[in-house]
């Protein structure tokens, strides 16, 4: 039985799946009123997947059974956690089942053993308060509504990677449903080859229903320096030079983020995970620059997402936007390249007023992440100290083509001074056209071998596939 389109779905999805699933499992069609409220919506609907329907399992066993039934009937399936995946490879998923993990959103802390177990759809904003109350912290990015496990499966680039390493470096085990519908545990001692692959290329190997991580203790009693600045466009060269000066000596505790918005304008965020006086001394070069706005304060770790960037999230928590997303990885910041591109972007804003990219650079220390060998996990880009994101709302194909040409030229321009021999991109920041060698680097051959073992039929090939 193969459900070919929506006309078949209404009649057959419930009959096919419901008898074998928990009574509290929901089966929802795109035509149902509950689709927009009960099913996790995607952050971007640019180049989206298409669904016959969604199944919202109640238990891990339900997830396994959904996979088994889907495989037996030739129905594509894909799991959704928080819905932040933005790669255009997702549009290759057609007329399948959305396994919505919305019921897997728990955060359970084992204070005695300094562990935290996080459900498959839990967002970063759900871990801040319980961990802080337990005297713990966790490496998170700036986007509070990004899914923890979705970020983890790509490696986990975060502000605290200089102190705690990549998110995958804290990962202890996962509960995973594999391509043949088996529910397994993967760790360093159980299904260890699968565990290796999950830590950097996990989207290709299964559905993670929960994961257990180390939970480090708070530093400086959880009180950290947050500094926000707005700089005029005229200060861009001096500003980029101040950022470049940290290339060889960015402290592990200091995380920097640059956001260039249409105008163009520059917003800058610095977070220091330590004593206020030490942090102020480190950001003095930015205090010396002419800014139009400043906000410098000491805040608890769990409140950082509400304070950073003057309290704005730049749309990272909006849903169903037509966001065309590009990314790039750099080893270091080159001020001359940044300044030149800033001018090009300003001209682009003028020439194409309907296309307004937001250009973000996350400049994080690699001190701790580089202590882990590149071959220890599937994540292969530990040398990258700066990650660029280009976030653009695109509403018509012509604008998408114009943006594509501009971004491909930008890649070439930045690559010339990136400090890497080849184009390298953190897989979760990929546009989707770069290819597996760019996403997975030198670990690609081993990943391809493991793919043959764990997913020989390519059932998990919809998000930046290995092959």
Q: What is the pLDDT of residues 158-192, one digit of tens each?
A: 999 999 999 999 999 999 999 999 999 999 999 99
Q: Which residue has the tokens 């802390």?
A: 109
When pLDDT is averaged across residues 32-58 and rounded to a whole number, the result is 96
Q: Which residue has the tokens 């969604």?
A: 54
Q: Which residue has the tokens 């200060």?
A: 235
Q: DSSP class of residue 155?
A: T
**CB of 43 closer than 8 Å to CB of 89:** no
pLDDT of residue 8: 61
pLDDT at 154 over 70: yes
Of the pLDDT bands very low, low, confident and very high (cuts 50, 70, 90), residue 3 is very low
pLDDT of residue 312: 84
pLDDT at 4 over 60: no
pLDDT, tens digit (0-9, with 9 covering 90-100), for 97-131: 999 999 999 999 999 999 999 999 999 999 999 99
Percent of the chain with pLDDT over 70: 97
Of the pLDDT bands very low, low, confident and very high (cuts 50, 70, 90), residue 10 is low
Q: Which residue has the tokens 């129905």?
A: 75
**CB of 225 closer than 8 Å to CB of 276:** yes
Q: Which residue has the higher pLDDT, 315 or 13?
A: 13
Q: Is the dihedral of CA 346, 235, 425, 45 positive or negative?
A: negative
Alpha-carbon distance of 388 to 215, in angstroms, equals: 28
Query: Strands 77-80 and 96-100, how do they pair?
Result: parallel
Distinct helix (H) and strand (E) counts, the chain: 15, 16
Alpha-carbon distance of 137 to 274, in angstroms, equals: 13
**CB of 173 closer than 8 Å to CB of 212:** yes
When pLDDT is averaged across residues 421-428 and rounded to a whole number, the result is 97
Strand partners, 248: none
When pLDDT is averaged across residues 258-281 and rounded to a whole number, the result is 97
pLDDT of residue 285: 98
The structural domains of the chain, ordered by start, are 6-100 (3.30.43.10), 222-441 (3.40.462.20)
Alpha-carbon distance of 29 to 35, in angstroms, equals: 7
pLDDT at 353 over 60: yes
Alpha-carbon distance of 454 to 449, in angstroms, equals: 9
pLDDT at 411 over 60: yes
pLDDT of residue 7: 57
pLDDT of residue 9: 63
Of the pLDDT bands very low, low, confident and very high (cuts 50, 70, 90), residue 318 is confident
Alpha-carbon distance of 75 to 169, in angstroms, equals: 35
pLDDT, tens digit (0-9, with 9 covering 90-100), for 50-106: 999 999 999 999 999 999 999 999 999 999 999 999 999 999 999 999 999 999 999
Could you report how far apart the first and last alpha carbons of the chain are, in Å? 28
Helix (H, G, I), strand (E, B) or coil at 331: coil
pLDDT at 1 over 50: no
């Amino acid at each position: 039985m193969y459900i070919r389109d929506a006309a078949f779905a209404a009649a057959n999805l419930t009959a096919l799946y419901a008898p074998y699933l928990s009574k509290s499992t929901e089966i929802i069609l795109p035509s149902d009123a509950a689709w927009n409220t009960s099913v996790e919506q995607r952050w971007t609907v640019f180049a989206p997947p298409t669904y016959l329907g969604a199944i919202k399992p109640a238990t891990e066993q339900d997830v396994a059974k959904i996979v088994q039934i889907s495989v037996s009937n030739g129905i594509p399936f894909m799991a959704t956690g928080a819905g932040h995946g933005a790669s255009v490879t997702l549009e290759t998923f057609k007329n399948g089942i959305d396994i919505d993990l919305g019921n897997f959103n728990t955060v359970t802390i084992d204070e005695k053993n300094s562990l935290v177990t996080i459900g498959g759809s839990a967002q970063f904003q759900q871990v801040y308060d319980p961990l802080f109350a337990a005297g713990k912290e966790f490496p998170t990015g700036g986007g509070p509504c990004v899914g923890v496990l979705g970020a983890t499966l790509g490696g986990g680039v975060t502000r605290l990677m200089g102190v705690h390493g990549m998110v995958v470096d804290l990962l202890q085990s996962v509960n995973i449903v594999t391509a043949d519908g088996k529910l397994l545990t993967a760790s360093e001692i159980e299904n260890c080859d699968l565990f290796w692959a999950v830590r950097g290329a996990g989207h290709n190997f299964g559905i993670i229903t929960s994961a257990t991580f180390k939970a480090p203790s708070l530093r400086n009693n959880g009180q950290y320096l947050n500094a926000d600045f707005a700089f005029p466009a005229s200060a861009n060269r001096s500003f980029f030079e101040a950022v470049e000066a940290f290339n060889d000596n960015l402290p592990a505790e200091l995380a920097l983020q640059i956001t260039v918005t249409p105008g163009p304008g520059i917003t800058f965020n610095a977070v220091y995970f330590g004593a206020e006086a030490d942090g102020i001394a480190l950001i003095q070069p930015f205090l010396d620059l002419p800014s139009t706005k400043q906000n410098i304060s000491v805040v608890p770790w769990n409140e950082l997402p509400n304070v950073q960037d003057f309290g704005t999230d730049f749309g990272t928590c909006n849903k169903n936007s037509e966001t065309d997303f590009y990314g790039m990885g750099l080893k270091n910041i080159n001020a001359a390249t940044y300044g030149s591109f800033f001018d090009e972007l300003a001209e682009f804003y003028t020439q194409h007023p309907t296309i307004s990219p937001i250009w973000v650079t996350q400049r994080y220390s690699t001190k701790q992440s580089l202590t882990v060998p590149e071959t220890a996990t599937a994540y292969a880009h530990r040398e990258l100290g700066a990650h660029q994101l280009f976030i653009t709302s695109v509403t018509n194909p012509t604008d998408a083509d114009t943006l594509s040409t501009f971004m491909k030229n930008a890649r070439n321009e930045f690559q010339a001074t990136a400090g890497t021999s080849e184009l390298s991109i953190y897989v979760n920041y990929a546009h989707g056209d770069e290819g597996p060698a760019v996403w997975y680097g030198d670990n690609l051959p081993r990943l391809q071998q493991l793919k043959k073992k764990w997913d020989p039929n390519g059932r998990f090939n919809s998000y930046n596939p290995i092959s």
